[in-house]
Every structure is written in structure tokens, then in C-alpha cells.
Structure 1
């Protein structure tokens, strides 16, 4: 009996030690959690089979989704499908026209989805030319709509950069001007790290410069050898597995965590997203502090 108790005691010590070791190893990881996903990553799949695509997302261990399309579903029905699978929609992306012209309808859909954020990823402008007039119009609309969304619906507006905003302006860029000129109470930002890197910016530096303004990130990587510009456009297949491209992903995540960012959405626009997303998740979960 004593021998049995002693052996049991030793076994418990081993189990406890293993648990402590696992905990310690987890504590050394930079990104041990599951990332979120942007619905655009699986746009073709969603267009054919919404429930099946949600099942695939859940199968990858992802629970946090940013929807930029309802894929023919009512917001209430999509929310039901999410709830049935233990998934959530934290951000709802809409067009400029919907944001500014149908704010009430957008807010209603966002609330039905259970979203915290309403996001827009474009500012109307002539392609290849982003001007002070465009930036000023955006600043005014962001402040106006952001106030409505927060004060009337308890939602937070976030703007997603797309590259064209980084034209030089007054020792900085129009993007800097937009960040500095919008009301932090009503306007926050989502940093798409590829669309910051592509026009020559450092995503980690932006996070460090405006640490209180960012709520979310789009995690993506740019294929090696691809040259950038301020156009806001590149071949979608230039999106590669995180860690295999040009962007210093660990530096970005360290800066984002220091800035208090809570939502990290993988967005893989390539035709290989089904194969690449699991590889990107594996890469993120392997990073050490």
C-alpha cells in the first residue's frame, strides 16, 4: 500500500512538472493564441457554401472573424450560424457608400452580427492620385460617422489603410494627417501590414508612433522580390505564407502587442489560401519572444 501511494506521488510530481514545463514554454511564445480571419480570405468558398466554410474556419482553430461581405445571408441568420459553431464576428467591413450613405442599416447589421467594429477600407479618389481634398473629406466623414456609430449604437469605427494614403504631405504622409486630424474618441484604425509595407512604410514603426489608435491588424506577407508603390494594388497571389515574404512579422507583432492591439486577422487574398492559412497559423504559433 505504501509503495502504491509512493508511486502515485511520483506520478503526480511528473505530471505537475510536465504541466509547469508546458506553461513555461507557452510563456516564451510570442503568439500562442489563435489568430482571427478575414472573410475575404475564403470569399470563393463563402460564395458557394457559407456553413461549410464556417466549419473549415473552426477546423483551423479560428473563432474570430471579420466579415466584409454577408454572402447573400441576412445578418441575423449569419449570426445564428456563428453561434451554433462557437464563432464570433468582431468586425464588419463595409463599402464607403454604405458607411456614409446607409449608416443606420450598417449599424443594424453590425449589431445583429455581434460586431464591435465597423470598418471601411477605401477613400474615394482618382486612381493614382490621392490629394489633400480626398484626405480632408475622409477626416470629416470619419469623424461624423464615427460619432454616430459610437454615440447611438455603441460601435467603434476603424479605418483600414490600403497604400494610396502614404503620399508625402507636410514632412509625413496623408495617412499621418488623417490619423492626427481625426477624433480618437470616434475614429480608430486597423493596420493592414502589407498595405503599409508595400508603399514603403514600416508597420512596426506606425504601431509605435500611434499606439493608442490601433485596434486590429490584417496579418499578411508580401512575396519576396515584389517591388512596392503607392498604387494600393498588387497581384493577389503576391500574398504568401506569413514568415516567407518580405515583412518582419515578429517585429510587427511585438509592436502591436506593446500597443495593446487585441485583434489579429489573417487575410490571405491568394488562390492558395486554403493551403496557406494553416501554414501561417503554424508559423505564428512557433514564434518566440
Structure 2
């Protein structure tokens, strides 16, 4: 893998903004209004069907809706491809559509029970791809159901520290993304508390899925963030159907983001992504349009 040298212009700007933002945080840990403006982000998993059919047309529409930053998924490390494009080609596609990508959900969980050498080989492939795309974070997105035991969460924590050290040395950040299963009770313990305790905050940041916290955690998003504020560098924002508790378009569900967002500490936040994994009222592209309209009208002023 070719060594990445120096720091990109975008990373320099991001880090400079963070320093300015940090200087404007109140003693209570809440950011002052207007201290930083974030790009409106989208997790591309939401429109995976559209991306498969017409990636270029889908990205053009994504940008037209006001989305500026993306979180990708589905990287093929052996071929170095994103959505069928070589990493350098996909970077040009993003540039041509005036889009950036700050994070990726990489297929690290597939290596949970593989030899460490295989895992680290894939980590190096992810690092190479992420540098080409000028991303800031590589994110661990999932854990297979067969591994969801407290013993395996301890093993996971060790792997996260190991990956985080490798990723950080390359000049990138590393984060863990939660679902609901981390909050399930295991005789008074849960996987998320163990991850918070057993991973090094300097090596492993956290991507907080606000939907899953509201769905399954005993603690509110603000209570979780206040445990270790600087670690929660990314959020996923999506709504919950009022009846089924499945995903739904922003503004049509039960999560009151208008009340929630002003009360969340922003001291560690760098990026957020709107997401809806399924349960579309019409189709995925219509859903990201409806969510964008609602977000820009009611929620963007908080971020």
C-alpha cells in the first residue's frame, strides 16, 4: 500500500473548524449557536437500489436535493472498487457532482472470525481506498447475530482497538456504528457499555445512530453523548414509524428531532448523515427527497 503523505486541504479545513468550534463550547458542553455549520449528509445505503441501477443519475439527483456529503458502503477491497468504479474513478465522479464523502461503512465485520492477518490486510485496503476518496473516517458498521454475546463484545473491543491504531497511524479516524443489539441486557450488562469501557477513546470514535438509541437504549442520546462527549464524532439521523417502529421518512415518525437536536452536545460532532434503510412510502429516491425537504425546513438550523 502506498504511504499517504501530508494532509489534504479538506482535512486541514475540518481540523481548523474543530479548533474554532471547540473554543466556542459552553462550560456545560453545549455548542454555541452558529459555532459551526455542517454539510447535509446522506448515507448511500438508503438508495442502494437506485445506485445499483444508475449511480451517476442517482448522485446527480442527490446533489440537486441539497445533500453535500456522503457516507458510502460496499467497498470491494480486492478490486479497489466503490459502486463498480475504481477508487480514483469514483473520486472523480464525486468531484464532478460537487460531492464529498467523509466516512465509509466498510465490510470489516466479515473478518470478525478470520485470522488477524486477513483482517489487517483488508484494513490496509480500506485505508488506501479512503485516502483516495479523501475520507476522514473508516467505520465498523455491524456485528453478525451469531457473535452477539458479551464474550464476543470483549473480543470485538480488542479488534476495534487494533484496527483503530492502524487506521490512526495512517492519518485517518476510525469509528464504531451502533444498532439496537448493543443495548440488549445481558445479566445487567450490555455490549455498548462494554465497548465504551474497553476501547481506547483516542483510537476508536463512535458513530451514534439516533434512531436505534431511541428504539432500544435505556439512556437518551444526550445521556449517552454526555458520557464521553468528544467520542461521538458522527450521527445517523432517521425517523421511526409511529406504529411499527420501523424506519420512516423524517417528519412522519415519532422521533421529535425539533426538540432533541438543540439539546444534544455538539462538542465532538464532525459529520451527520440522514438515512432510511427501508420501509419507503414510495421509493428510496422519493424518501431522501421528502426527508431533505423536512430537514432543511425544520432541522438544519440546529446543525
Report the TM-score range of the alignment, normalised by the length of the smaller protein: 0.7 to 0.9
Post-superposition shift, 1:121?
A: 1.1
1:74 Cα deviation from its structure 2 partner: 1.1
Change (3 A) 1:43 1:116: same
Structure 1 residue 38: deviation in Å? 0.6
The answer for unaligned runs of 5 or more in structure 1 is 1-26, 228-237
**TM-score, structure 1 normalization:** 0.78
Q: CA deviation at 1:204?
A: 3.1
Q: What's the Cα RMSD here? A: 2.6
1:41 to 46, 51, 65: 46
Instruction: Give the direction of change, closer, same or farther, for the CA distance of 1:107–1:154 in structure 2 (3 Å limit).
Output: same
Greater Cα radius of gyration, structure 1 or 2: 1
Residue 30 (structure 1) shift: 12
* Cα distance between partner residues in 2 of 1:56 and 1:39: 12
What does residue 109 of structure 1 align with?
129
Q: Which runs of 5+ in 2 are unaligned?
A: 1-31, 75-81, 113-118
- Do 2:180 and 2:217's aligned partners in 1 also have CA atoms closer than 8 Å? no
CA contact (8 A) 2:38 2:270 kept: no
The yes-or-no answer on 1:131 pairing with 2:145 is no
Q: What does residue range 93-172 of structure 1 map to in structure 2 within 5 Å? A: 93-95=105-107, 96-97=109-110, 100-101=119-120, 102-126=122-146, 130-151=148-169, 153-168=170-185, 171=188
- Greater Cα offset, 277-286 or 46-55: 277-286
Is structure 2 residue 196 aligned with structure 1 residue 179? yes
Q: How many residues align?
A: 250
Deviations 1:25-55 (A, max 9, x none): xx98999865200111111111122211110
Supply the distance in 1 between the matched residues of 2:39 and 2:136 (Cα, whole angstroms).
19
Q: Give the TM-score normalised by the residue count of structure 2.
A: 0.75
CA contact (8 A) 2:50 2:285 kept: no
How many Å apart are 1:157 and its aligned residue? 0.7
Indicate the SS of the match to 1:37. strand
Aligned to 1:208: 226
> Secondary structure of the residue that 1:168 maps to in structure 2?
coil
Greater Cα shift, 167-176 or 60-69: 167-176
Q: CA distance change for structure 1 residues 246 and 30 in 2, over 3 Å: closer, same or farther?
A: farther
Q: 1:263 aligns with which of 254, 271, 278?
A: 271
Deviation at 1:113, TM superposition (A): 1.1
User: Contact 1:34 / 1:281 at 8 angstroms: preserved in 2?
Assistant: no
Partners of 1:74 and 1:80 in 2: CA distance: 10
The residue aligned with 1:8 is none
- For residue 112 of structure 1, give the secondary structure of its aligned residue in structure 2: helix
Deviations 1:219-244 (A, max 9, x none): 111100225xxxxxxxxxx3212122
CA–CA distance in structure 1, aligned partners of residues 70 and 60 of structure 2: 13
Q: 1:162-206, CA deviations, whole angstroms, 9 ceiling, x for partnerless residues?
A: 111112257552201111211011100111112222224422322
* Structure 1 residue 283, shift from structure 2 partner: 2.2
